[in-house]
Amino acid sequence: TGSSRGCFGHPPGCSLTALPPPPSTKTELPAPYGPWMEIAHDLPQLIASHRLRSHVHQLSARHLRGREELHLAHLVLSFITMGYLWQEGEEGTVKVLPQNLAVPFWEVSQALGLPPILCHADFVLANWRRKDPDGNLDTIISLPGAESLRGFILVTLLVEKAAVPGIKVGGRCRALWLFAHPESALRHPRGYPTPTRLLRGWGKGWKDNPAMPGGLVYEGVSDEPLAYSGGSAAQSTVLHAFDELLGIRHSEESSAFLRRMRQYMPPPHRAFVEEIRRAPPLRQHVLSSGDARLRAAFNRCVCALADFRSYHITIVTKYIAVAPPSALETKGTGGSHIFSFLKSVRDTTREGVISA
């Protein structure tokens, strides 16, 4: 909005002034990469006119300097790649990513320790900028369905923002009460947009995807097809961190999926989660303390996290399951069976409550 209220009309307290900067504060790549930025900024039009594949230019990543440029390049190349793959929808996929796109994407990904696909770290964490002094936001790169997609990205970013205080003090074992009212972070005052075209392809990967059962050949990188999962909220660091802090143990199937999703986090994020996992268990400390107030506080945190996950299921049910195709009622963009997965992690979170 253009008012003094925060993004999407939230009061000023909900603006993103407290959010750490994205991995890159840059919104344009240096001059040699003008063609990349031109394509990225014109993605919706190029895809709509079925001209994106013919506009992919040959460039190398050798001129990029510093992690900010690398993160921005990964964001740009991941969006171009998704547009290239899904330009014609699920019936018009390709088996080979051309060398002039595959090689620089691979080089940038290797430098950052990220996979060569659109990740949550690109889609949400790196894809925002402040558009005015009031803290209102916009995305850097978009795809067809601009308004709905923009809302989807920025509301997800607000959820990340709501978790920041809890992450900061999580090591001191408090402040998870911020999750006690998850609807304050997830509710969109104008109504949450339904990103139907996003769910019809843009965010989906080529692992566990019937539309691309053979994976994708990255020309000039590997003669064999590679399989990567699409962007997923399961790649967000914050819930992994809270699970490890509270000692939540999910089912074998859900745990395997979440462990795989950690490989799509930036390496420092993965290291942070692993550091929490290796720390002395908070749950055991609460159990051995014999302190009823401490146990009650711990249980409030666990219940708040479970409530957050219940609200997430409500959001998915209302705004995502209704979107075509019906196959998305069973598979998410990351390749999980979405409803069984979400309900499973919610239920196992509830089981983390310490009995009296």
In this structure, what token pair is assigned to residue 202? 């843009």
Q: What's the chain's Rg over C-alpha atoms?
A: 21
Q: Which DSSP helix (H) or strand (E) runs through 306? A: helix 292-315
Query: Is 231 exposed, middle or buried, given 0-12, 13-18 or 19+ CB atoms closer than 10 A?
Result: buried
**Calpha distance 263→283 (Å, rounded):** 26
**Calpha distance 85→310 (Å, rounded):** 33
Of 114, 73, 106, residue with least CA distance to 222 = 106
Tokens 């949450």, residue located: 192
Tokens 């302190």, residue located: 291
Q: What are phi and psi of 216, to 5 degrees?
A: -135, 130
List C-alpha distances in Å: 252 to 256, 259, 303: 6, 10, 22
**Calpha distance 215→205 (Å, rounded):** 9
Of 212, 210, 194, 141, residue with least CA distance to 322 = 194
Residue 275 is classified by DSSP as H
**Is 312 annotated as belonging to a binding site?**
yes
- CA distance from start to end of the chain: 49
Would you list which residues are annotated within the binding site for heme b?
312
Binding-site members are 312
